[in-house]
A and B are shown apart, each in its own frame.
Chain A
Amino acid sequence: MRRFSWFNATSLTLGFAFLYIPMIILIIYSFNGGRLVTVWAGFSTKWYGTLLSNEAFLDAAWVTVRVGFMSSTLATILGTMAAYVLVRGGRFHGRTLFSGMIYAPLVMPEVITGLSLLLLFIAIGLDRGIITIVLAHTTFTMCYVSVVVSSRLISFDRSLEEAALDLGCTPFDAFRSVTLPIIAPAVISGWLLAFTLSLDDLVIASFTSGPSSTTLPIKIFSAVRLGVRPEINALSTIMIGIVTIGVITASLINKRAVTKRLDDEQKAAAA
Chain B
Amino acid sequence: MNFRRLILIGVPYGWLLALFLVPFAIVLKISLSDYAVSIPPYTPTLDLSEGWAGFQDFLSKLDFDTFKFLTTDSLYWKSYLSSLQIAVISTFFTLLVGFPIAYGMARAPEEWRATLMMLVILPFWTSFLIRVYSWMGILGREGYLNSLLLSMGIIDEPLVILNTNIAVYIGIVYTYLPFMILPIYATLDKLDVSLLEAAEDLGCTRTSAFWLVTAPLSRPGVIAGSFLVFIPALGEFVIPSLLGGSGTLMIGKVLWEEFSSNRDWPVASAVAVILLLILIIPIILFQKNQQKQAEADQ
A residues within 8 Å of B by Cβ? 2, 4-5, 7-9, 11-12, 15-16, 18-20, 22-23, 25-26, 29, 36-38, 78-79, 81-82, 84-85, 89, 92, 94, 98, 101-102, 104-105, 107-112, 115-117, 119-120, 122-123, 135-136, 138-139, 142, 146, 171-172, 196, 199-200, 202-203, 217, 220-221, 224-225, 227-228, 232-233, 236, 239-240, 243-244, 246-248, 251, 255
Contact = CB atoms under 8 A, between A and B. Distances in A.
Given A4-B108, A172-B4, A227 B237 contact: no
B280 to A, nearest CB: 10
Contacts of A37: 137, 142
A139 B16 CA distance: 7
Contacts of A20: 119, 123
Closest 3 CB pairs of A and B: A109-B235, A11-B100, A116-B23
Given A18-B174, A26-B130, A109-B234, A119 B27 contact: yes
A18 B4 contact: no
A25 B97 contact: no
Given A8-B108, A112-B235, A244 B26 contact: no
A196 B275 CA distance: 27
Contact of B147 (A38, A78, A233): A38
A228 B145 CA distance: 14
Interface in B116-132: 116, 118-123, 125-131
B154 interface: no
Nearest to A21: B138
Contacts of B231: 107
27 contacts: A2-B107, A7-B100, A7-B104, A8-B100, A11-B103, A15-B97, A16-B101, A19-B120, A20-B119, A25-B138, A25-B144, A37-B142, A38-B143, A85-B13, A109-B276, A111-B255, A111-B272, A120-B22, A142-B15, A203-B237, A217-B129, A221-B129, A224-B133, A232-B133, A236-B133, A239-B127, A243-B125
B139 to A, nearest CB: 10
Contacts of A110: 235, 237, 252
B177 interface: yes
Contact of B104 (A8, A117, A202): A8
A116 B15 contact: no
Residue in A203, A217, A233 with the greatest tally of chain B CB atoms within 10 Å: A203
A227 B15 contact: no
A37 B4 CA distance: 59
Query: How many of chain B's residues touch chain A, expressed as a range?
Result: 35 or more
A229 to B, nearest CB: 9
Given A38-B143, A109-B235, A89 B8 contact: yes
A92 B30 contact: no
Given A102-B16, A115-B272, A120-B19, A12 B105 contact: yes
A255 B114 CA distance: 10
Interface in B221-274: 231-232, 234-238, 241-242, 252, 255-256, 259, 265, 268-269, 272
A200 B22 CA distance: 25
Interface centre among A20, A38, A104, A105 (most CB of B within 10 A): A38
Contacts of A25: 134, 137-138, 144
A219 to B, nearest CB: 10
A145 to B, nearest CB: 10
A119 B130 contact: no
